[in-house]
Amino acid sequence: MKKIILFDFFGVISSEVGPFWFRRYVSEEIADETKARIVSPGDKGEISEREMFQQMGAHVGVSAERARREWLELARIDRDIVEYIRKLKENHRVYLLSNATSGFLRDIIKRDGLEPLFDGIFISAEIKIAKPSEEYFRYCLGKIGAKAEECIFTDDNPKNVDAARAVGISAHRYEGLAGLRDFIERNI
């Protein structure tokens, strides 16, 4: 029986932020390249969150403070999935696995009162490893004290789903709550 449920944050519990913010200011092609060049090092903790927002703001002509504020405004929590996680937590351990800078994600979690949902939170910038690295999943499993076959993971990014599967975790690409419920019910 699968006892541990692992959730991605952006694109599952919260709306995506980066792609939409960049596309406010630049073309889609430039947005994707810039996100990879600036946000990825922030997600891995290779640059500070402050430096990441400074670079992003400078790239599009706004202050770091404005960029961060706009990112926070774009992060909208899906209350239906929050309620579903609360129900899952009654019988399962629940963890958050997210690529993000620490302060930014922890501010959202605090702002929206999400701390009680999770038995643990793994933020890529804090552990200096980001999805889709298989090492990320192995690290989290080790800290949780779980075997891959005890876990279910959901993420909207197919590369992250593939990496979780590669280490033996039952993984589902998130495209909506109904599909996730069905997947979890079939796999626990």
Q: Which residues pair with 123 in a beta bridge?
A: 98
Q: What pLDDT, on the 0 to 100 scale, is given for residue 142?
A: 98
Cα 112 to Cα 7: distance, rounded to the nearest angstrom: 16
Q: What pLDDT, on the 0 to 100 scale, is given for residue 27?
A: 87
Q: What pLDDT, on the 0 to 100 scale, is given for residue 31?
A: 84
Superfamily of chain region 4-14+76-187: HAD superfamily/HAD-like (3.40.50.1000)
Ramachandran area for residue 26 (φ above 0: left; ψ -120 to 50: alpha; else beta): beta
Going by C-beta distance under 8 Å and a sequence separation of 6 or more, which residues neighbour residue 14?
75, 76, 77, 78, 108
Residue 18 tokens, joined: 């980066």
Q: What pLDDT, on the 0 to 100 scale, is given for residue 1?
A: 63
- Buried/exposed 79-105: b ≥16 CB within 10 Å, e otherwise: eebeebbeebeeebbbbbbbbbbbebb
DSSP state of 164: H
CA terminus-to-terminus distance, the chain: 5
Segments in the chain below pLDDT 50:
none
Using only C-alpha atoms, what is the Rg of the chain?
16
Would you kindly state where each structural domain of the chain is located, as residue ranges? 4-14+76-187, 18-74
> How far from chain centre, in Å, is Cα 97?
6
